[in-house]
Amino acid sequence: MQLFFRRMTIIYLPSTDSTNLEARRLIQSKSCNNHDVVQSGFQTLGRGQQGNSWYSLADENLLFSIVNFPEHFEVARFFELTQVASVAVVKYLFSRGIRAQIKWPNDILVNRKKIAGILIENTMMGNYISDSITGIGLNVNASVFPLGLQQKSTSMLLETSLEYSTSDELNRFMEFYSAAMRYDNFRLRRLYHKHLFAMNQKVCFRHGDIVKTAINAGVTDNGQIIMIMPDGTNQYFWFKEIEWLL
């Protein structure tokens, strides 16, 4: 993206409804700057993709949103923001000895278990994005998950048997995020695909009421996943159109 990244300000809230909602309120009141970070110890309305909730006990994990005011950033390039956040999380986790993958479009997996999720919300003015909020929930010190999530979720603590300071880890993560913001489009796309879950592998997914099997051939510049069907043709899907069957 090669965007300038200034020194950030972290706005910490012990509790809030949602860091993305809090960031939106700050933008509307003109009370924040480019690359400010809203962090909270607890969210009452934490959200994920497709309206899902994000589970986290108080002060266990990293819950934060990054405010961006990109200049002359066309709406057609919106998926680059997803790539920046996804690549930054994966590279940060690698620095902590945790091998992670990106499950399209922007869930982060470790050994097929979810360790982080990303929710990006943009405001458009004409053909440009005027502001963007990147919300990230990263399981850091969680050791117990509710019934139904136990087999699907993990945390840094569970992967390394180490406890972490969330404030220290946020600062460390932002170093990787800042670096990813400076990547050119070619490097960003290459890294996203390098760490893409099930890349060039056979996958199973539900499209409508039909279960299909295909080869995951990567993602287009506008964020659609490319599936090579059994008959050799390519089909393209938006993330809301299919459900992974892992």
Tokens at residue 212, please? 């299909």
Residues spanned by the domain of 217: 202-244
| pLDDT for position 60 | 94
**Residue 160, domain CATH:** 3.30.930.10
> In Å, how far from its chain's centre is CA 4?
21
How buried is 31 (Cβ within 10 angstroms: 0-12 exposed, 13-18 middle, 19+ buried)?
exposed
From first to last of its 246 residues, the chain has per-residue pLDDT tens of: 555 556 679 999 999 999 999 999 999 999 999 999 999 998 887 665 544 556 677 789 999 999 999 989 999 999 999 999 999 999 999 999 999 999 999 899 999 999 999 999 999 999 999 999 999 999 999 998 887 777 899 999 999 999 999 999 999 999 999 999 999 999 999 999 999 999 999 999 999 999 999 999 999 999 999 999 999 999 999 988 999 997
Bridge partners (DSSP) of residue 242 are 207
Phi, psi of 192 (to 5 degrees): -60, -45
Residue 221 belongs to some domain of the structure = yes
Separation CA 19–CA 220 (nearest Å): 29
Tokens at residue 234, please? 């390519």
Tell whether 97 and 174 lie within a shared domain: yes
Tell whether 70 and 154 lie within a shared domain: yes
**Residue 219, domain CATH:** 2.30.30
Residue 56 belongs to some domain of the structure = yes
Residue 231 belongs to some domain of the structure = yes
Number of domains in the chain: 2
Tokens at residue 222, please? 């506008």
Separation CA 144–CA 150 (nearest Å): 7
b/e per residue 132-168 (b: at least 16 CB within 10 A): bbbbbbbbbbbeebeeeeeeebbbbbbbeeeebebee
Bridge partners (DSSP) of residue 101 are 109
Question: Which pTM does this prediction carry?
Answer: 0.92
Residue 2 belongs to some domain of the structure = no
Tell whether 104 and 207 lie within a shared domain: no
Tell whether 61 and 106 lie within a shared domain: yes
| pLDDT for position 208 | 93
The tally of CA atoms less than 13 A away on the side-chain side of residue 105 is 25
